[in-house]
Each structure stands twice: as structure tokens, then as C-alpha cells.
């Protein structure tokens, strides 16, 4: 649990730290933040191939930032996170149990086919979100100021994610009521 809290804190604060550090600290030293973000994810390596690839990608970005002393590789980390989540959720659509259903089953429940189909659609919606969010993060990393990139990746994207969670929750309540699930 403490590692999960640390991972969440580092992930949430990463864009703000990059923004505040820009111009004050060389990018090769800011790469240490990415190393911290990667280190907090190490326990997940036992669980997922996607997590292993995500960590490898983050290490490549960190090495590029340290070697080149450029900020761009550090700004691409949110793009990598979205790509990893898209890969995990997208891959699950090729399996009998979607990512959302897999998470729901952690509570030990079984679901009727209508609920499984609903959760597959929710997984598809999340895939769409990761595509759009990752594309915007990529565009802001390449063409926007550090302040705009930080605002989007550190505030707006999380607000959009919360909005999607909330909307899905309301739709799920209605779905359960209509289908007696």
C-alpha cells in the first residue's frame, strides 16, 4: 500500500516537477524523477508484461534525457503511460475477458453475458480515451510550452479521467437497473 501511494504521488506530481524544474535544473538531473517513477512501478513487474515494457520504455526515455540533456524525452513519459495502458486494455479485447471485467472480477463476482458485453464496451471506451489523451500529451510535448504541457498532463488529463470514471459509474448504475444485474 505505501508503494501504491508513492507511485500515485510521483505520477501525479511528475508533470508539475518537470515544469517547475525547467530552466532551474538540467534535464539530465530531472531524469532522476523518471527513475523514481520507474522504481515505484517495479513491484508491478511480476504481474504484467505491459508493466515490464512500460518500465523499459521509461528507462529509455530517462537515458535519452540524461545523455542529450533535453527535456523532450521527459515530456514523453505521459505518452508512454497512455500507450502502455492502451496496449493492456487493447490486448484484453482479443481475449475472452476484457480488462474492465478482469478488474471487476477481483471482487470475486461472476457476471452474466450482458454484463460482460457492457464491460467490453467500457474497455473500448477506455482504449479511445488512451488514444486521444496520449495524442494530446504527445502534441503538447512537441509543440506547446512547458506550462501548457504541465497543465494538460498534470491537471486536465486527470480531470478528464475523473469525468470519464464518473460518467461510466452513472451509466453503470442505469445499466444495472435496466438489466437487473
pLDDT value at 136 more than 90:
yes
Domain span holding position 129:
2-179
Whole-number pLDDT of residue 143: 97
d(C-alpha 21, C-alpha 29), whole Å: 9
**Whether 54 contacts 41, CB under 8 Å:** yes
Grid cell for residue 21:
524544474
- Arithmetic mean of pLDDT, 38-63: 77
Distance CA 16, CA 154 (A): 6
**Residue 11 has which C-alpha cell?**
505520477
pLDDT of amino acid 41: 65
Name residues whose C-beta falls within 8 Å of residue 93's C-beta, 6 or more positions apart in sequence.
120, 123, 124, 127
CA distance 31 to 77: 11
- Please report which confidence band the pLDDT of residue 44 belongs to, taking 50, 70 and 90 as the band edges: low
Q: How confident is the model at residue 36 (pLDDT cuts 50, 70, 90)?
A: confident
pLDDT digit string (tens) for 106-126? Answer: 888 889 999 999 999 999 999
Angle between helix 77-92 and helix 2-21 axes, rounded to 10 deg = 140
Mean pLDDT of the chain: 88
* 84 Cα distance to chain centroid: 7
Q: What is the pLDDT of residues 125-134, one digit of tens each?
A: 999 999 999 9
- Grid cell, residue 35, equals 527513475
What local confidence, expressed as pLDDT, does residue 173 receive?
95
pLDDT-based confidence at 40, cuts 50/70/90? Answer: confident
Q: What is the count of structural domains for the chain? A: 1
Q: What is the pTM of this model?
A: 0.86
Please give the helix or strand (H or E) that residue 100 lies within, else none. helix 99-105
Q: Is the pLDDT of residue 1 over 70?
A: no
Q: What is the pLDDT of residues 54-85, one digit of tens each?
A: 888 988 998 999 899 999 999 999 999 999 99
Note the residue count of the chain. Answer: 181
Amino acid at each position: 500500500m505505501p508503494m501504491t501511494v508513492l507511485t500515485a504521488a510521483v505520477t501525479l506530481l511528475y508533470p508539475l516537477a518537470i515544469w517547475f524544474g525547467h530552466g532551474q535544473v538540467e534535464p539530465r538531473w530531472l531524469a532522476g524523477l523518471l527513475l523514481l517513477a520507474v522504481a515505484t512501478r517495479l513491484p508491478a513487474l511480476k504481474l504484467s508484461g505491459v508493466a515490464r515494457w512500460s518500465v523499459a520504455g521509461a528507462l529509455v526515455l530517462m537515458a535519452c534525457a540524461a545523455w542529450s540533456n533535453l527535456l523532450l524525452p521527459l515530456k514523453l513519459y505521459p505518452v508512454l503511460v497512455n500507450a502502455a495502458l492502451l496496449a493492456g486494455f487493447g490486448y484484453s479485447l482479443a481475449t475472452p475477458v476484457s480488462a474492465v471485467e478482469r478488474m471487476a472480477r477481483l471482487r470475486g463476482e461472476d457476471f452474466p453475458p450482458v454484463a460482460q458485453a457492457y464491460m467490453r464496451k467500457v474497455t473500448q471506451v477506455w482504449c479511445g480515451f488512451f488514444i486521444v489523451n496520449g495524442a494530446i500529451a504527445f502534441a503538447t510535448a512537441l509543440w506547446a510550452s512547458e506550462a501548457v504541457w504541465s497543465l494538460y498532463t498534470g491537471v486536465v488529463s486527470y480531470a478528464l479521467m475523473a469525468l470519464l470514471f464518473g460518467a461510466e459509474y452513472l451509466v453503470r448504475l442505469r445499466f444495472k437497473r435496466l438489466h437487473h444485474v
